[in-house]
Amino acid sequence: MTQLVRAVRCRIYVIGKKLLVVVAAAGVMSAVATCTTERRAEAKRAPAYDLNKDLEARKKEARKLLGKRTRFRVVQKVFLVAGAPSMGRRFFRRSVSLTKRATYAYFNKRFAKRPAKAVSVYLFGNKYAYKKFCRKHHGGCGTPYGVYYHSPRRIVMNASPGLGTLTHELVHPIVETDFPNAPSWLNEGIASLFEYPYIPRKGEIHGLTNWRLPQLRRALRTRAGRRRASLGNLFSMSDRDFRGAYEGLYYSMSRYLAQWLDSKKMLWKFYQRWRDNYATDKSGAKAFKAVVGKTPAQANREWVRWVKRLR
Ligand SMILES: [Zn+2]
């Protein structure tokens, strides 16, 4: 019975006023009263999220952590770009401009939802300042380029080797909101595609062939490597496997799958179809078949041929 009352309360909470009437007619008024009280208490416990307040608080925090001479710009209403003093004014402007152009294209018929909450983007002008910050506040960087820290919603990056990491890392908080169930391989594959972005015109973005290709090509030379680097394997890969011993290869595979699909104008159809039908298509294989016309295993040969021809 307790279970039933709990279930009733839960449904009231989700469905709202219409169901309240139905439940009252069924004679469980006490459950209705408890539910209303619970809803009020919950509203008190979790105040509504205030984006402007959060942006202000993040600005204050960044000034405290990076220094008084930190530069700021808000892009797409949610990304607070903060240029540490180690970054010159011109470089900061260039980074803001790229953030604007890339995110404009990301939200132009590609991703549907912006992050619901603000995201801080900390940019450092050299590896020393970047490493010092990561060590002090995040226990180390893990990579010389940049990282997205999920819980504080903060991107931290060393801009000196180039801005490709910026366009990569920006994808992560977006996917987190737009397709929260996306497996790591898809999230990283799309993010990695844009680490060498090509923006031919406003609202359009593609990824050019980059340094991740040789690793994939090397794998395709051996039988064991070909088995690992096959689309059938990628589509059945858990996040744990993706982050395992062959992580570098799997980044490369998912990246070049994204580039291949994009070259055929199929990437976003596939992504959106999978996202919108995730409940009945957990692996993405159905969305792939519907868009490409072949299963991942059947498409493997064509994809490998394309990878080998890439320049
Ligand atoms: Zn990434």
Report the separation in Å between the CA atom of 160 and the middle of ligand 1, taken as the mean of its atom positions: 18
- Angle at 209 (CA atoms; ends 207, 215), nearest 5 degrees: 125
Ranges of residues in the chain whose predicted pLDDT is under 50 = 1-35
CA distance 22 to 2: 19
The pLDDT, as a whole number, for residue 82 is: 98
The pLDDT, as a whole number, for residue 142 is: 84
User: Which residue shows structure tokens 């307040």?
Assistant: 53
The pLDDT, as a whole number, for residue 255 is: 98
The pLDDT, as a whole number, for residue 161 is: 87
Report the separation in Å between the CA atom of 251 and the middle of ligand 1, taken as the mean of its atom positions: 9
CA distance 264 to 182: 22
Condensed to tens digits (0 to 9), the pLDDT of residues 281-290 reads 999 999 999 9
- The values of phi and psi at residue 72, to 5°, are -130, 150
The pLDDT, as a whole number, for residue 71 is: 97
- Angle at 287 (CA atoms; ends 216, 285), nearest 5 degrees: 55
Report the separation in Å between the CA atom of 15 and the middle of ligand 1, taken as the mean of its atom positions: 37
Report the separation in Å between the CA atom of 126 and the middle of ligand 1, taken as the mean of its atom positions: 20
CA distance 199 to 60: 33
Condensed to tens digits (0 to 9), the pLDDT of residues 93-118 reads 999 999 999 999 999 999 999 999 99
CB 271 within 8 Å of CB 190:
yes
The pLDDT, as a whole number, for residue 141 is: 83
HEC string of 223-271 equals HHHHHHCCHHHHHCCCHHHHCCCCHHHHHHHHHHHHHHHHHCCCHHHHH
Six-digit token string for 245: 């011993």
Report the separation in Å between the CA atom of 157 and the middle of ligand 1, taken as the mean of its atom positions: 12
Report the separation in Å between the CA atom of 193 and the middle of ligand 1, taken as the mean of its atom positions: 10
